């Protein structure tokens, strides 16, 4: 999806070199979408009408301009700048950033508390003790469980943990790994997020409240879950890149 967006942006960048200084106005967007509508496949038209109900796509094609201020993050997505007087768009350059975002986000979505509750911001407002130290529950899942596992079982050596995960992916998890890879589209973040919130409820939040002291009981029952999520993230990142780049 990132890549399709980048395609569209490169097209817009090309236009702006020719002379279109501003974004399309209401009519420009209306016209674009009106032209597209009769060209949609049956499946695409059905998907659009399922999402929009009785609303007409063309009349909503300026929606993104109206939410620029409500969704501040979206404003820079409307355009792309090239270095002054450079009338070529460096697609490869931006692919590098896309690769780094994708590789990071596929990791994050497998951290169970990156699909957490709104009011506690994924455990970021829940203070606990990790053994004797103060920590946020979110941080426990970002770092502490992995670090404690490395210290206790792998001689504080991340490479040994990686080797064991590699080995398990090709042995005890070999069948499951096939299922982890499965995705009929380019990427399947909805599947990973559904799993994530379930793991967050069943393991991360479970039995934890403000001020809880988390030690062996919690660590020993949770680190296998973390190992599994790390393995899933790695397998799925590779599968996603393989689908993208063939």
Ligand X SMILES: *[C@@H]1O[C@H](CO)[C@@H](O)[C@H](O)[C@H]1NC(C)=O
Task: State the residues that interact with ligand X by CB under 6 A.
Answer: 82, 90, 93-94, 96-97, 164-165, 168, 172, 224, 227
Nearer to ligand X, 137 or 149 (CB): 149
Q: Using the minimum distance from each CB to ligand X, give the nearer residue, 2 or 120.
A: 2
Q: Using an 8 Å Cβ cutoff, are 64 and 33 in contact?
A: no
Beta-bridge partner residues of 134: 129
Q: How far is the CB of 90 from ligand X (least distance, A)?
A: 5
Contact in structure between 64 and 74 (CB atoms under 8 Å): yes
Nearer to ligand X, 172 or 179 (CB): 172
Contact indicator for 142, 233 with CB cutoff of 8 Å: no
Residue whose C-alpha is closest to residue 106's, from 170, 195, 167, 203: 195
Strands 213-214 and 133-136: unpaired
The residues, any chain, with a CB within 8 Å of residue 3's CB and separated by 6 or more, are: 95, 98, 244
Nearer to ligand X, 165 or 208 (CB): 165
CA dihedral 97, 98, 103, 105 (to 10 degrees): 110
Calpha distance 227→240 (Å, rounded): 20
Nearer to ligand X, 211 or 224 (CB): 224
Minimum distance of ligand X from residue 162's CB (angstroms): 9
**Closer to ligand X at the Cβ: 162 or 238?**
162
Backbone angles phi, psi at 157, to 5 degrees: -120, 110
């Amino acid at each position: 999806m990132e890549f399709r967006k980048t395609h569209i942006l490169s097209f817009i960048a090309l236009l702006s070199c020719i002379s279109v200084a501003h974004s399309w106005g209401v009519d420009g967007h209306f016209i674009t979408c009106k032209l597209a509508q009769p060209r949609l496949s049956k499946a695409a038209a059905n998907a659009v009408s399922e999402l929009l109900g009785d609303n007409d796509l063309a009349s909503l094609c300026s929606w993104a301009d109206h939410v620029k201020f409500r969704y501040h993050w979206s404003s820079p997505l409307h355009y792309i700048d090239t270095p002054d007087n450079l009338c070529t768009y460096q697609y490869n350059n931006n692919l590098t950033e896309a690769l780094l975002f994708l590789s990071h986000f596929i990791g994050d979505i497998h951290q169970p508390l990156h699909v957490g509750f709104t009011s506690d911001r994924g455990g970021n407002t829940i203070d606990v003790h990790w053994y004797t130290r103060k920590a946020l529950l979110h941080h426990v899942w970002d770092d502490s469980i992995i670090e404690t596992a490395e210290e206790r079982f792998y001689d504080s050596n991340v490479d040994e943990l990686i080797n064991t995960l590699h080995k398990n992916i090709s042995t005890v998890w070999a069948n499951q790994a096939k299922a982890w890879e499965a995705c009929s589209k380019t990427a399947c973040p909805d599947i990973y997020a559904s799993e994530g919130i379930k793991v967050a409820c069943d393991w991360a939040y479970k039995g934890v409240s403000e001020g809880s002291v988390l030690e062996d009981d919690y660590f020993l029952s949770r680190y296998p879950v973390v190992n599994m999520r790390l393995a899933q993230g790695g397998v799925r990142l590779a599968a996603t890149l393989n689908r993208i780049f063939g």
